[in-house]
């Protein structure tokens, strides 16, 4: 097995989804890993991941060269750039891709072309205010007239916020209200063996198919097909949105705040906002206040047009539920329900459910859709039963 990268258990590497730690090398050239950001465990083919890391290195060098050609005095810098080759594995830092120990293991074949992704752009640290503000009209992925809405707390981007802003400003899809989720699904397919890319979309797809698909389609292959062809499509049954307009991986830890190194060249005030997690969340333009009002207005408009969604899932930790309630201030009476996460465990999770009597829309407040919140299919099946019962 020829590898550009020699993977070592306990060491950390980075693909486009994020930084992961190798837990175990498996037979057949595979390995078990755990992502640091959300603790998702996955199995990878070592050769495939080696190619991905090599492609990342190739792309980053190309981006740096392109940036150097544009601004020779200030070449673009990117946090977490892969480390140069070493003769011996050393303690790695998050975001670092580790080259091979033994040169004899390197393949003599030409480096494969990078995986199919949006055009590479130089990673910048300085933006004009108007550039960032052009991203604010973006609502999310999917169809505004969808039968099901999913509203999260924030869209998770890379740990370096400059990567997110650079990419989104360069992509016309993010200058519109809605984008097809395929622009992210195709990236996930190219980079990892985890089919859904992230657990949130896997659970959202599970809820969608349980509510909309017939009994004979309640199989994992059928869910895979639905996810591939319909989930998050512009003409599909789902809208994926969030209560914050700019993506961020971490909202609570100032040391891990992704925009701390981001600056706006024409706005000292918004430099301070972007560099402070709390101010960002509370800011009238970049934060929640305007987004919550906008989501409320979208729902009211659809309500007047008799196109309101049938189900709305709002997910996040209980401390975030107050923001979801602001979107639907006319829903005064939520019913709190505790559901078990497994038939053989006593652990329960709380949800809150309300119904808009004028439209029949059922709104449910859920914990975060992630394994860390102990979400299980058993738990979600009970949520579906409750929502189906309330929608009659």
Q: Are residues 90 and 179 in the same domain?
A: no
What value does the CA radius of gyration of the chain take, rounded to a whole number of Å? 22
Q: With cut-offs at 50, 70 and 90, classify the pLDDT of residue 66.
A: low
Separation of alpha carbons 255 and 354, rounded Å: 37
Residues 84 and 156 in one domain: no
Per-residue pLDDT tens for 78-105?
A: 343 334 333 333 333 333 333 333 333 3
* Assigned token pair, 291: 């987004």
346 pLDDT above the threshold of 50: yes
Q: What percent of the chain has pLDDT over 70?
A: 82
Q: Is residue 362 over pLDDT 50?
A: yes
Taking alpha carbons only, the member of 12, 23, 35, 62 closest to residue 194 is: 35
**Domain contains 108:** no
Phi, psi of 126 (to 5 degrees): -120, 135
Q: Cα–Cα distance between 314 and 325 in angstroms, integer?
A: 9
Q: Encoding tokens for residue 250?
A: 């971490």
276-299 tens-digit pLDDT = 999 999 999 999 999 999 999 999
CA separation for the pair 250, 276 (Å, rounded): 12
Which of 101, 134, 149 corresponds to the end of one domain? Answer: 101
226 and 97 belong to one structural domain: no
What pLDDT, on the 0 to 100 scale, is given for residue 113? 39
Does 118 fall in a domain? no
Q: Provide φ and ψ at 303, rounded to 5°.
A: -65, -45
Give the model's confidence band at 9: pLDDT under 50 very low, under 70 low, under 90 confident, else very high: very high
Question: Dihedral sign, CA of 79, 84, 85, 86?
Answer: negative
Same domain? For 164 and 44 the reply is: no
Locate tokens 């950390």: which residue? 12
Whether residues 322 and 240 share a domain: the answer is yes
Q: Which domain holds residue 66?
A: 12-101
CA distance 293 to 136: 13
Residue that wins the pLDDT comparison between 123 and 311: 311
Identify which has the larger pLDDT, 178 or 186: 178
What is the pTM (predicted TM-score) of this model?
0.71
Mean pLDDT, the chain, integer: 82
121 located within any domain: no
Q: Are β-strands 362-366 and 311-315 bridged in parallel, bridged antiparallel, or unpaired?
A: parallel
- Do 188 and 328 fall within a single domain? yes
Given the DSSP bridges, would you call strands 18-26 and 12-15 parallel, antiparallel or unpaired? antiparallel
Domain boundary (101, 136, 169) is at 101
Number of domains in the chain: 2
Give me the DSSP letters along 15-65. Answer: ETTEEEEEEEEEGGGEEEEEETTT--EEEEEHHHHHHHHHHHHHHHHHHHH
Q: How many CB atoms lie within 10 A of CB 287?
A: 19
Per the domain annotation, does 147 fall within a domain? Answer: yes
Band (271; pLDDT cuts 50, 70, 90): very high
Could you tell me if 86 and 132 lie in one domain? no
Residues 186 and 258 in one domain: yes
Is position 271 within any domain? yes
Please enumerate, as own/partner, the contacts of 43-48 that have beta carbons within 8 Å and a separation of 24 or more. 43/193, 44/192, 44/193, 45/193, 46/1, 46/3, 46/5, 46/7, 47/1, 47/2, 47/3, 48/193
Do 203 and 165 sit in the same domain of this protein?
yes
**91/156 same-domain check:** no
Is residue 57 in some structural domain?
Answer: yes
Task: Please state the rounded mean pLDDT for residues 158-178.
Answer: 88
Of 84, 101, 118, the residue that ends a domain is 101
For residue 80, the model assigns a pLDDT of 39
249-254 average pLDDT score: 84
DSSP 143-194: -TT-SEEEEES-----SSHHHHHHHHHH-GGGGSSEE-THHHHHHHHHH-S-
Q: What is the pLDDT of residue 185?
A: 82
| Together in a domain, 309 and 200 | yes
Mean pLDDT (whole number) for 158-169:
86
Is 3 a member of any domain?
Answer: no
Kindly indicate the confidence band of residue 117, based on its pLDDT and cuts at 50, 70 and 90. very low
Do both 46 and 145 map to the same domain? Answer: no
Q: What is the pLDDT of residues 184-228, one digit of tens each?
A: 887 766 665 678 878 899 999 999 999 999 999 999 999 999 999
What is the per-residue pLDDT across 40-52, written as a single tens digit (0 to 9) for each?
788 787 877 887 7
Look at residue 59 and tell me whether its pLDDT is greater than 80. no
The pLDDT-based confidence of 57 (bands split at 50, 70, 90) is confident
Residue 116 lies in a domain: no
Round to whole Å and give the CA distance between 264 and 106.
43
> Helices 199-212 and 220-229 sit at what angle, rounded to 10 degrees?
100
Element spanning 387, H or E: helix 377-390
The confidence band for 252, taking pLDDT boundaries of 50, 70 and 90, is confident
Q: Which of 303, 313, 291 is nearest to 362 (CA)?
A: 313
């Amino acid at each position: 097995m020829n590898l550009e990268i020699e993977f070592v258990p306990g060491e950390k590497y980075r693909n486009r989804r994020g930084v992961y730690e190798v837990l175990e090398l498996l037979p057949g050239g595979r390995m078990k890993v755990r992502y640091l950001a959300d603790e998702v465990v996955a199995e990878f083919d070592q050769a495939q991941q080696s190619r991905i890391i090599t492609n990342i290195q190739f792309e980053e060098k190309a981006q740096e060269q392109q940036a150097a050609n544009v601004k020779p005095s200030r070449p673009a810098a990117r946090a977490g750039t892969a480390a140069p080759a070493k003769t011996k594995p050393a303690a790695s830092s998050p975001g670092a891709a580790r080259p091979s120990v033994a040169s004899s293991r390197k393949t003599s074949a030409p480096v494969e072309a990078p995986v199919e992704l949006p055009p590479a752009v130089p990673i910048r640290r300085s933006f004009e205010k108007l550039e960032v503000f052009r991203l604010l009209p973006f609502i999310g992925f999917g169809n505004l007239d969808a039968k099901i809405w999913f509203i999260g707390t924030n869209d998770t981007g890379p740990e370096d916020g400059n990567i997110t802003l650079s990419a989104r400003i360069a992509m016309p899809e993010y200058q519109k209200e809605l984008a097809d989720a395929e622009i992210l699904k195709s990236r996930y397919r190219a980079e990892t063996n985890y089919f859904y890319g992230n657990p949130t979309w896997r659970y959202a797809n599970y809820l969608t198919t349980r509510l909309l698909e017939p009994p004979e389609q309640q199989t994992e292959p059928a869910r895979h097909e639905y996810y591939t062809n319909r989930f998050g499509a512009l003409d599909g049954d789902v809208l994926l949105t969030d209560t914050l307009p700019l993506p961020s991986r971490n909202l609570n830890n100032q040391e891990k705040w992704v925009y701390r190194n981001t600056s706006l060249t024409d706005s000292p005030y918004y430099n301070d906002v972007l560099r402070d997690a709390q101010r960002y969340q509370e800011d009238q333009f970049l934060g929640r206040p305007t987004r919550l009002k906008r989501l409320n207005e979208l729902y009211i408009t659809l309500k007047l047009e008799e196109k309101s969604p049938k189900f709305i899932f709002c997910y996040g930790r209980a401390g975030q539920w107050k923001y979801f309630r602001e979107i639907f201030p006319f829903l005064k009476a939520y019913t709190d329900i505790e559901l078990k996460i497994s038939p053989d465990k006593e652990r329960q999770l709380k949800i809150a459910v309300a119904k808009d009597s004028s439209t029949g829309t059922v709104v449910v407040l859920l914990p975060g859709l992630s394994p860390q919140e102990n979400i299980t299919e058993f738990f979600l099946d009970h949520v579906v039963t409750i929502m189906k019962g309330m929608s009659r």
